[in-house]
Amino acid sequence: MTSATDLTRPDAATTAATLDVAALRADFPILSQTVAGKPLVYLDSGATSQKPRQVLQAEYDFLTHSNAAVHRGAHTLAAEATDLFEDARATVAGFVGAAPDQLVWISGATMGLNLLAYAIGNATLGRGAPASARFALQPGDEMVTTAIEHHANLIPWQELAARTGAVLRHIPVRDDGTLDLDAAAELIGDRTRLVAFTHVSNVLGIVNPVAEIVALAQRVGAVTVMDACQSAPHLPLDLPALGVDFAVFSGHKMLGPYGVGGLYGKSEMLDALPPFLTGGSMITTVTLDSAEYLPAPQRFEAGTQPVGPAIGLAAAVRYLDAVGLEAIHAHERMLADRMRAGLVEIPGVRLLGDAVGVERVGLWSFDVDGVHAHDAGQFLDDRGIAVRVGHHCAAPLHTRFGIRASLRASAALYNTTDEVDRFVDAVRGVRAYFGAES
């Protein structure tokens, strides 16, 4: 089995490390298979990443040697499981620059964002400690999100607005896919209590200006919530340094298992936030009439925890750390540039968010004139190429660009230039196959 520490090498032509992708791919068994009789080209990592053997082995080892419920048993296996679980918390927290008690285990980003929205709703109802009042919303208070959000960072705030009488407003997106910061400065004002935004758009691949957005929110004392799903696997990430109050990420997008992710919160914010899910494991005392709750992060971790997936996620971030996020980002950006160079030369292909001079990850969404995205996606699948089709849980953004669906190709550390070339060559044949050429 390849060691992740052997997957970068010095490149004499650059000062950065480049990835030894051939060696790295050996850690991902699924990449060696064929689809429709052709070698698999997996360009759907924005939806879910593939998992290296090291992650699979970490979960297997736990389940076959230390499987037990955590935090609730005095026997040897329970102690081992608890130690592994909390070591995983420390590892994943450190990956994003946080302390262990600043990381709440969640099933994924969608759960984390709903947790925040419902906990803020509980604060509005007067639940929680006196410090929870800082989150309470009144009719006419405002929350601000953006026009590029994944539904998971939009609908929870719509529901919170409906429950509290707050008003939800949206930072618009320009034609090139960048956020309109002039409009943001107008929207984020004295009535703004919360600003929720994505670090990297799952449709556009553009890295958004976190510092500017956070500064606008801090100017008026608004809480900031960041969706880091599309940045955590691809960019060096230091959440405390970014200044956000809360952030979420999902394990399955960063080489880890399904069913686990992280909710980061500043300590003072987590300590003030009332709980959302309640039950066992998050309490200190319970009577038939009342309960008192543990401090964060356990206050937000009711019930049986995702112990095996958390241990697998820790293995995933160790793998990413060993390969090196800067090298990963440079490799994926090179692939993105190669994709763009090929796609812009194809008549009838329109890239979404083709902004000049912005930082981005290895992801492009595009429309093929005269061919529905689902048909084009099937055409590519018949050639062994896996891409995403649809509105990618960002329907309002597609409406903004005048389409209902798009194709999305998203690269990861294990993709090669040859795969990108196969993908571009296949896209070149889509319109002719469906008789859509003019």
Active site amino acids: 393
The full DSSP string for 326-390 is HHHHHHHHHHHHHHHHHHTTSTTEEEES--SS--B-SEEEEEETTS-HHHHHHHHHTTTEE-EEE
CA distances from 425 to 340, 342, 386 (A): 13, 8, 14
- Contacting residues for 327 by C-beta, under 8 A, at least 6 apart: 8, 16, 17, 18, 19
Give CA–CA dist 276/346, Å, rounded.
50
Q: Burial code of 131-147, b = ≥16 C-beta within 10 A, e = fewer?
A: ebebbbbeeebbbbbbb
Residue from 10, 16, 6 nearest 333 by CA: 16
Please name the helix (run of DSSP H) or strand (run of DSSP E) that holds residue 402, with its range, or none.
Answer: none
Q: What tokens does 370 get?
A: 């005269």
